[in-house]
Amino acid sequence: MRKMGVLSHIFRVNNAENPEALIGILDDLMVCLAAPKEAALRRDVTTYIKLTIPDKFPQLKWSATELDAITDLQGLATMLANNVKRWTTDWILQGRKYGPANMLRHLLLRKYGRLPDSVDVRLARATSEQLLNWAEQLLSANHIDEVFLHQ
């Protein structure tokens, strides 16, 4: 039964849409593999995720040296959380440089990658209130469609 739990979490890692989603998955894996007898499996899962992350989320821009320094799931979770905090700070600073629509577009690109053309049309036609609402939705959305649910 435990192995199915671990496998389901690995499946979730493979299907995570953004790095932020990985933090919760790593927390679940740490609980699932907390027992001392799970040390070898914990190490193997950590290695697998370290090998998966650079291709899955190139926006993290983690170097081989940074990844080599991570020895456990907690280290991965901490590094991801630190990246999310850094991105938030960067996004705020960039927001001062760009207009609201350009800033939101930039944030959407950073979080979701390539954007559908319809997003550019929506951003170009949006009111300041809509842009603010979408920016707030971006903070908790796991998929780009969730950003635009509330008009």
Q: Give the per-residue pLDDT at 118.
A: 92
Angle at which helices 19-32 and 39-56 pack, to 10 degrees?
170
* pTM listed for this prediction: 0.59
> What's the pLDDT tens digit per position in 19-77?
888 989 999 999 999 999 999 999 999 999 999 999 998 888 888 899 999 999 999 99
Token pair in block for residue 22: 């990985």
For residues 76-80, average pLDDT: 91
Q: Which pLDDT band holds residue 1 (cuts at 50, 70, 90)?
A: very low
**Separation CA 16–CA 143 (nearest Å):** 10
CB 133 within 8 A of CB 107: no
Judge contact between 46 and 77, C-beta under 8 A: no
